[in-house]
Structure formats: C-alpha cells, structure tokens
Structure 1
Amino acid sequence: MGGTGLAADLAGLSRQERLEQLRRRMAAVPVRGEAVAARPERVPGVAEPPVLPVPEALAGLLPRGGLPRGSVVTVSGSGSLLVGLLASVTGSGGHAAVIGHPRLGLLAAAEMGAELGRLAVIPDPGPDPVEVAAVLLDGLDLVVLGLAGAAVSPSRARAVVARARSKGSTLVVTGGRWSGAEIRLDAAVRGYDGLGGPAGCGRVRGLRLAVGAEGRSFRRRTACVGLRSRRGRVEWVSEAVELQRQSISESGVA
C-alpha cells in the first residue's frame, strides 16, 4: 500500500468514498500475524504476544518491555524514536501504517531493520486522519497517526481507544493533543558523534538520545541511548553498553 499512489487515489473523493477505498486496500494487506507465525518462538494456535517489540535499549523503560496491544501511545520529540518503533515492529514480522507523516525517513527505518514491505505510508490522509486510522486498526499491528497540531475530542478518543482494544492493535499518536493515552514517550537529542574535526567538521556517525516514558500504571522513567551506524545498519545501544564498547576501543582490544 504505497503512500504516493494511495494519496492520489484518495484525492477528490468524499469521506465515504475514502473509507471504502481504504477498506479495499486493507483487503490486500497480509493478515496481522501471518509473518510472525513463522518465527521459531511462535506456536500455532497460541495467542499473539501481549506487547509489540521496541528497540532492545528501550525495553527497560516499559513495564512489560514493549507497547501493549490494544492501547494508545503518544510519541513526541526526536523522530528517531518513532522510526525505531516502526523498525522493531515490522522487523519482527508485524504490519504497520503511518498516517500524516510526509517526511518519514524510510531510509533510516530500513537502516534500523524495518521491513518496508510490511509498512504502509499514507502521507496525505485528507480531512479526517482519525477516521483513516480507525479503519486501519482493523488489520494492522501498529498504526501511527500524525495529527499535525490538531486536537481530538475526549469522546472521539475514547471511541478509537475502544476500537484499538477490540482489535488488539496499537495506535501511536504524534503531533497533536490526545487525551487518555496509556503511555507517553518522548525523546530529545543530547549530542552527536563524529564531529570532532576542525571547526566542528566531520561525518555524523551517531547520536545520543534521552528517552522518557510514563503512563497511567507507572511513573516516569528515563534512559540515555545511542544510535550508532555499523556496517550499513543503525543500532540502538544502551548507555552502559556503549560506554563498555568505547572503553574496549580505547584500550586497543579488537
């Protein structure tokens, strides 16, 4: 379900026609869990895991080590956090959609391990992106909704939360006001690596993020993580592991 083609297909259609077009497109998307079922740890007939995976360096921030299925999560700050979540879900066999993010870094997602064949991108969902997200919750593991500064009324938010819960899907909301989210995640850039040349010149080899998480069932937790480019892939590394690697490198040990 390519983003540019879908946006063109939806242009000029009424609200009802847009929904019908989305439902037809959804019929062509693989059923949630198909790719995951082939993984060694999954046993046929066993219910899906209760959480969606996140980058390993962030798992300790969340009570169950991932994003709960059937919940709504808000994400703010550095876009690397959102891309990392998409990479973890699709790279583990899940299916995801991104609504209202025309500048989503697909290359960065692929470098973090995302399977782009399991990712639908809808950069321009039209006047009612919340309705589009509600439709997509029917068949995907993760739906990312960019609100572009809009506010969603509490009554409508509750209706979408109920839909996500009934479908076992997770909705991630960015760039707007949404009441009643179960978990709130944020990330801020704390520095870059690789700019040690004259006048701060050099190639960026990585960055450091401060990531925070809080929710209705747990108090705020924070972690410092690094994103490092290695052999064409971008890895999430916890601060403790990164310090250990720096120490080994400085000592000359291979």
Structure 2
Amino acid sequence: MGSEALSSGQGARERTLDELRKRMAAVPGRGESTAGHMPREQPLRRDLLPVPPPLADLLPEGGLPKGSVVAYTGAHSLLTGMLAAVTGNGGHAAVVGLPRLGLLAAAEMGAELSRLAVIADPGPDPAEVAAVLLDGLDLVVLGLGGLVVPPSRCRVLAARARNRGATLVVAGEWANPTLRLDSRVTGYRGLGPGRGRLRSVCLDVRVSAKAGQTRHGRMDLCAQLGRTEWLSPETRTRPAEVAALHEAVS
C-alpha cells in the first residue's frame, strides 16, 4: 500500500514537471516582445535584467546579472518590484513557492501579468520546479519555505542558471550566491494619525557582492494615481498632506 502511494505521488510529480517543460517550450525567446507590445521603460539588456530604479543605483552593474543566483531576505515588496520590472520591459518570469506574493501589487507596479507564471504550491521539491523554469524564463523567484538546499545542489542549479542565461532569486538560504540582497521595512507614511490612508512604505536595502563593498540605500514605495512607484528619498516629492511617519518592523 505504501509503495503504491509513493509510486502514485512520483507519477503526479513527473506529470507536473512534464507539463512545465511543455509550457517552457512555448515561451518566446528571452526578451522578445509579443506582437503589439512595447517595453514600458528600457528593453532587456543582453547581460542584465532591469530592476526598480532605486535598486539599480545600489547594484554593482545597475541590474541583475543574467545567469546569476541572488539570495534574498526581507520584505516581499522588493521581490514584486523585480518581477514587475522584468515583465513590464518585455521579459518572462515566474514565482515559485510564495503564495502570499500579490498579483495586484505586481500589476500596480507595472507588471505584465501575461508574462508572469505563478506556482504557489510547487510540492515537496520547489528547487526542482525552479530548475525546469530556468530553461525558458528570464527571471525565476523561488521561495524555499524554510527548506535547506545542500551546497552541492546549489552549485548544480547555479550552473543551470548560468548555462541558460536566466536569473534565479532565492528567498531563503543559499550557498555562495552571486549577490545577497536584504530589505527591511523602516516606516510608513500616510494621511492623518492612527488609521490614516497608507501613502508610502520606506525600505532600507543592503546589497552584498562576492567582490566589492557592501552597499546600503533607502527607497520608498509610493502609491500615486492608481500606480505604485519606486522612488529614492532624493527624488520623491512629498505630498503636503502627508502628516506622520509611523515606525514599523518588517
């Protein structure tokens, strides 16, 4: 009985992976726009993926290197911003194992949802699902849900990302990534005391690369006329009615 259940589970897993492979085969070439679609900001570069502008200022090369692995900790909003930047500029992306990552928030940041695949429940081995997705997408965001991936397997997936020219962002622990990003919510701004309407979220971000100094920066996620925009403190225009800064934790 136990062996039959195990065999059935393995069969379902293989069918799921086969279906993902078929879907990957149908995805247009990386960075290609579908008919009638024009990138919102800049087209995908050959060697870098676009990111929200304030984050670009912190990254050593101004974007996420293609073929790299990025270890990420902190607020999900910055992950959503990365997905929006890539799909909004003509790329294809997927998010695996992060069911709380909101599609509405991504759309308000400018994401092209037709270019974004969501696998909320990847099963017991989310890393294997991510490995399949790396074959056909520009960016894969992987949530490990507390699982630990052995260093030997991290090296295998890193090699796969490098060979496919795809970028893997891992929300969780990862051995020897190209970059480490950490974001922390430091405050909110809104209208009125107490229960006023939220207007912006303030993030502190730290970027660590294998070589070079760690960089720190601050950025604001601001709601403006139905859209959500990423602004640095230097470029953000504060509405006159913003009344208070409420201290918070991520």
TM-score by length of 1: 0.84
SS in 2 for 1:61: coil
The AA in structure 1 aligned to 2:170 is: V
SS in 1 for 2:234: helix
The AA in structure 2 aligned to 1:49 is: R
- Tell me the alpha carbon deviations over residues 156-201 of structure 1, each in whole angstroms, 9 at most, x when there is no partner: 1001100100110000001x3210111011111111111532xx12
How do residues 12-161 of structure 1 correspond to structure 2 at under 5 angstroms? 13-35=11-33, 48-161=45-158
Structure 2 residues not aligned, in runs of 5+: 1-8, 242-250
Structure 1 residues not aligned, in runs of 5+: 1-10
1:186 aligns to 2:186 (yes or no):
no
Displacement of 1:31 in angstroms is 2.6
Indicate the residue corresponding to 1:213 in structure 2. Answer: 207
How do residues 4-15 of structure 1 correspond to structure 2 at under 5 angstroms? 13-15=11-13
Displacement of 1:71 in angstroms is 0.3
Measured on the aligned residues, the alpha-carbon RMSD in Å equals 2.2
The AA in structure 1 aligned to 2:177 is: A
What is the aligned counterpart of 1:196 among 168, 179, 192? 192
2:42–2:89 Cα contact (<8 Å) kept: no
- Tell me the alpha carbon deviations over residues 29-80 of structure 1, each in whole angstroms, 9 at most, x when there is no partner: 23322118965976xxxx9521101101111111110000000001111111
Displacement of 1:27 in angstroms is 2.3
In structure 2, distance between residues paired with 1:94 and 1:213: 23
Runs of 4+ off more than 3 Å? 11-15, 36-42
The AA in structure 2 aligned to 1:185 is: L
Displacement of 1:104 in angstroms is 1.3
SS in 2 for 1:135: helix
In structure 1, distance between residues paired with 2:82 and 2:42: 21
Displacement of 1:217 in angstroms is 1.8
Alignment CA distance shift 1:98-1:41 (3 Å)? closer
Query: Higher helix proportion, which one?
Result: 1
Indicate the residue corresponding to 2:244 in structure 1. Answer: none
Aligned length: 230
In structure 2, distance between residues paired with 1:151 and 1:223: 29
The AA in structure 1 aligned to 2:213 is: R
Indicate the residue corresponding to 2:219 in structure 1. Answer: 225
Displacement of 1:218 in angstroms is 2.2
In structure 2, distance between residues paired with 1:69 and 1:41: 16
